[in-house]
A and B are shown apart, each in its own frame.
Chain A
Amino acid sequence: MIKDYTLTVTNQIQVADTIYELTLAGDITKDPIAAGQFVNVKIPNPAYILRRPFGIAEVNVDQGYIKLIYRVVGDGTQILAQLTKGATLNVLGPLGHGFPSEFLNQAADVLIIGGGTGLPPLYELSRRLSAQGHHLDIALGFPNKQRVFYETKMAQFGHTVVSTDDGSYGLQGTIIDLIDQNFADKSYQAIYACGPRGLELAVSDHFSGHPHAYISAEARMACGIGICNACVLHTTADTSGATNKKVCTDGPVFHINEVVL
């Protein structure tokens, strides 16, 4: 059930260059949240009328908090980065559909592919899949060494490898190079990816036709609940040119062959 929550900042730490982890406590964890769902956060300044959508990085039901991880890219996220313990934030959610996993066999082999700030929803997904006894291989790409985050935290869920665009950390190369070099001989029952458009296009191409390969799409969004139609994508099966999928309500998770990125 989508609700408008007032959540309290209980912690905020910088996890890499320009990247922050925000812990928010409140009633949002009292209803079910799927891994891959997102929230739309109101910037606590009336000058900014568009909310900012963020994938939910972690859900802790027992302690009643969620975590968001975001990169400071403009004035709105700069304001978020200045929030300290005790501040409150208006958060709409949980929104969208999460990563499907109900089809997985017991102890299934799963490949997780994350790029930059696409990683957060994959952390929660990996945490759950690992707890369910699935075997995870994890490929993470970042622009450079300064922007690497959560490598150790992801490594607790499976074999984790890292690449950077400039080679300053891990393999220098693309995410596909990284996968080819480490996991080429393996096959997976499911593949889950989230990252920049280029990464998701490469993943969609590389695993085209795989029955359970999913990406979580990013889009410039306004409402987050399906009423404004800002975040639409064409569908691959469309012959009329007029049908669409909304990233906010039909997604953000799609099968790789469902939408045109």
Chain B
Amino acid sequence: MTTLSVALPGLALKNPIMPASGCCGFGEELGNLYNLNQLGAIMIKAATSKPRFGNPTPRVAETPQGMLNAIGLQNPGVATIVAEKIPKLHAKFKDLPIIANVAGSAQADYVAVCEQISHAPGVSAIELNISCPNVAHGGMEFGVDPTAAFELTKACVNVSAVPIYVKLSPNVTDIREIAKAVAMAQPAGFTLINTLVGMRFDLATRQAILANQTGGLSGPAVLPVALRLIHQVRSVCDLPIIGMGGVTCAEDVLEMIIAGADAVAIGTANLTDPFACPEIIAALPAVMAKYHISSIESLIHERKGKLVK
């Protein structure tokens, strides 16, 4: 009998699997396809202080074993999310921990949104998005500067009623420096990786395919990069990590936990297959048994003894 549960600050996860922010909306569409209570948690789409249309289209382009997106934090604004989106999701799926993703263009926006959304019913934690590559101001600007990342995290931790997990960018010279700086602000943990900045061009028009020019690369192509960065952050920090980046199957989930993650989010795989999360959850016990893993917690414990620093 395998055990899938994982306990993280603010999050009693029945399994380590959750759909990643931006790949599950506010749970409404996936919730019409399957029972979301079977998920470990859900990371809902980013909330900003004001409604945002996001970037012009085209917003997506295919890449080998991956895709670029430049959605641009489209969302109806924190007021609507707190008044309508979160209550609707929580009412329908009472056993589903909600992780609210918070983004902004200035520190004051982040702080205000964190305070407001952390009190919404069903919100168990916040994912602080300091790493969105697809907005002109804010987002990744905070995530690539250790001082700005520390200041922002500290300000948000101070006002939030729930634990904060800081979403780190892979688009940095040394992610360990950012992780160490953010850890000083005492968040509950990290989530990583956000997408890698990329481009594609159209041969006929000689123009970038994405209207935003650049976009974030995700999908199976980024899995090894995510594993390396999670391993690097794990080597300098003991805080919980929710890992993500190119995970498509139960084997990938276990590999990411071995690399240093404590739970795993599924992103782009939801866009290819909306049933990806329940399929991965269903597949985990057999794959764990094959590799003699009795529980997710035991795999995490085993890693703690062995991890090469």
A residues with CB within 8 A of B: 2, 4, 42, 46-51, 76, 92, 219-223, 225-234, 240-244, 249
Question: In the complex, how many angstroms separate the beta carbon of A199 from the nearest chain B beta carbon?
Answer: 18
- Chain B at the A interface: SS class: loop
Most buried by A among B28, B53, B270: B53
* Assembly CA distance A249 to B32 (angstroms): 13
Q: Contact between A226 and B67 (Cβ–Cβ < 8 Å)?
A: no
A48 proximity list for chain B (CB < 8 A): 62
B24 at the interface (CB under 8 A from A): yes
Q: List 18 A-B contacts (CB under 8 A).
A: A4-B274, A42-B272, A42-B273, A47-B64, A49-B65, A223-B274, A225-B29, A225-B33, A227-B23, A227-B25, A228-B71, A229-B45, A229-B71, A231-B57, A232-B54, A232-B59, A242-B77, A244-B74
* Assembly CA distance A49 to B74 (angstroms): 23
Question: In the complex, how many angstroms separate the beta carbon of A41 from the nearest chain B beta carbon?
Answer: 11
Question: In the complex, how many angstroms separate the beta carbon of A243 from the nearest chain B beta carbon?
Answer: 7
Question: In the complex, how many angstroms separate the beta carbon of B292 from the nearest chain A beta carbon?
Answer: 28
B69 at the interface (CB under 8 A from A): yes
Q: From the candidates B30, B51, B74, B271, name the one contacting A50 in the complex (CB within 8 A).
A: B271
A230 proximity list for chain B (CB < 8 A): 57-60, 69, 71
A232 proximity list for chain B (CB < 8 A): 53-54, 57, 59, 74
A234 proximity list for chain B (CB < 8 A): 53
Question: In the complex, how many angstroms separate the beta carbon of B247 from the nearest chain A beta carbon?
Answer: 13
* Assembly CA distance A49 to B24 (angstroms): 17
Q: How many residues of B contact A (CB 8 A)?
A: 39
B residues with CB within 8 A of A: 22-25, 28-30, 32-33, 45, 50-54, 57-62, 64-67, 69, 71, 74, 76-77, 219-220, 268, 270-275
Q: Contact between A49 and B220 (Cβ–Cβ < 8 Å)?
A: yes
How many Cβ-Cβ contacts under 8 Å join chain A to chain B?
A: 99
Q: Which residue of A lies closest to B33 (CB)?
A: A2
Q: From the candidates B29, B54, B62, B274, name the one contacting A49 in the complex (CB within 8 A).
A: B62
B59 proximity list for chain A (CB < 8 A): 220, 229-232
Q: From the candidates B24, B51, B69, name the one contacting A222 in the complex (CB within 8 A).
A: B69
* Assembly CA distance A242 to B57 (angstroms): 14
B273 proximity list for chain A (CB < 8 A): 4, 42
Question: In the complex, how many angstroms separate the beta carbon of B77 from the nearest chain A beta carbon?
Answer: 8
Q: Contact between B25 and A222 (Cβ–Cβ < 8 Å)?
A: no
Q: Contact between A220 and B60 (Cβ–Cβ < 8 Å)?
A: yes
* Assembly CA distance A206 to B219 (angstroms): 43
B219 proximity list for chain A (CB < 8 A): 49
* Assembly CA distance A225 to B274 (angstroms): 8
A249 and B65 contact, Cβ closer than 8 Å, known pairs A4-B274, A50-B60, A227-B274: no
Q: Contact between A50 and B67 (Cβ–Cβ < 8 Å)?
A: yes
A242 and B53 contact, Cβ closer than 8 Å, known pairs A226-B25, A226-B29, A228-B71: yes
Given contacts A42-B272, A49-B268, A225-B33, 10 further A-B contacts (CB under 8 A): A47-B65, A50-B271, A220-B59, A222-B60, A222-B67, A227-B271, A228-B69, A231-B59, A234-B53, A244-B54
* Assembly CA distance A241 to B45 (angstroms): 19
* Assembly CA distance A45 to B103 (angstroms): 35
A221 proximity list for chain B (CB < 8 A): 60
* Assembly CA distance A227 to B274 (angstroms): 9
Q: Contact between A92 and B274 (Cβ–Cβ < 8 Å)?
A: yes
Q: Which residue of A lies closest to B70 (CB)?
A: A230
A228 and B274 contact, Cβ closer than 8 Å, known pairs A49-B62, A49-B66, A222-B67: no
Q: Which residue of A lies closest to B74 (CB)?
A: A229
B30 proximity list for chain A (CB < 8 A): 227
Q: From the candidates A4, A46, A92, A244, name the one contacting B65 in the complex (CB within 8 A).
A: A46
Q: Which residue of B lies closest to A225 (CB)?
A: B29
The 6 closest A-B pairs by CB, nearest first: A242-B51, A230-B60, A223-B271, A220-B58, A226-B29, A227-B25
Question: In the complex, how many angstroms separate the beta carbon of A97 from the nearest chain B beta carbon?
Answer: 14
* Assembly CA distance A223 to B220 (angstroms): 16
Q: Which residue of B lies closest to A219 (CB)?
A: B57
* Assembly CA distance A46 to B59 (angstroms): 22
Q: Which residue of B lies closest to A242 (CB)?
A: B51
Q: Contact between B271 and A222 (Cβ–Cβ < 8 Å)?
A: yes
Question: In the complex, how many angstroms separate the beta carbon of A100 from the nearest chain B beta carbon?
Answer: 21
